[in-house]
Amino acid sequence: MTLAKTPAKPVYVRIREEIGNAILAGQYRDGDALPSVRALAAEMSANPLTVAKAYQGFQDDGLVTVKRGVGMFVAKGAREQLMSDERARFLKDEWPEIRARIDRLGLEADELLAKA
């Protein structure tokens, strides 16, 4: 059996995940300014157009608001929306595989919870 190599995620997706994780962790709260495109690009050693693409995705999803000439800000309710989206994605994409592995290993819920 051979394993298919999974291609690395595009840089803009990884940047989006980093920003999303920072919002979920409370590093950026509703109304907080996000770093400028240039500042974040320099910090992450990325092309500014790539960072702009990541930010555009957040803007399209209503998770950030733009104030022309001022910057981008976390939209009201962004954390809750991200949390809801992440939970749904986890339950749809990740949980079935985790559950199948738990079953294959014969693990019980109380055993898992005791290790948490």
Is a pLDDT exceeding 60 seen at residue 2? no
Is a pLDDT exceeding 60 seen at residue 83? yes
Task: Return the CATH fold of 11-115.
Answer: Arc Repressor Mutant, subunit A (1.10.10)
Provide the residue type at 92 as one letter.
K
pLDDT the model gives residue 116: 67
pLDDT the model gives residue 4: 46
Residue 23 to residue 79: CA distance in whole angstroms: 6
Q: Which residue has the tokens 């907080």?
A: 32
Q: State what percent of residues in the chain have pLDDT above 70.
A: 93
The predicted-structure confidence for 57-75, as pLDDT tens digits, reads as follows 999 999 999 999 899 999 9
Residue 71 to residue 9: CA distance in whole angstroms: 27
Dihedral angle over CA of 56, 61, 65, 66, nearest 10: 20
pTM for this structure?
A: 0.80
Contact 33, 69 (CB under 8 A): no
Is a pLDDT exceeding 70 seen at residue 56? yes
Is a pLDDT exceeding 90 seen at residue 34? yes
Contact partners, residue 111, CB within 8 Å, separation at least 6:
none
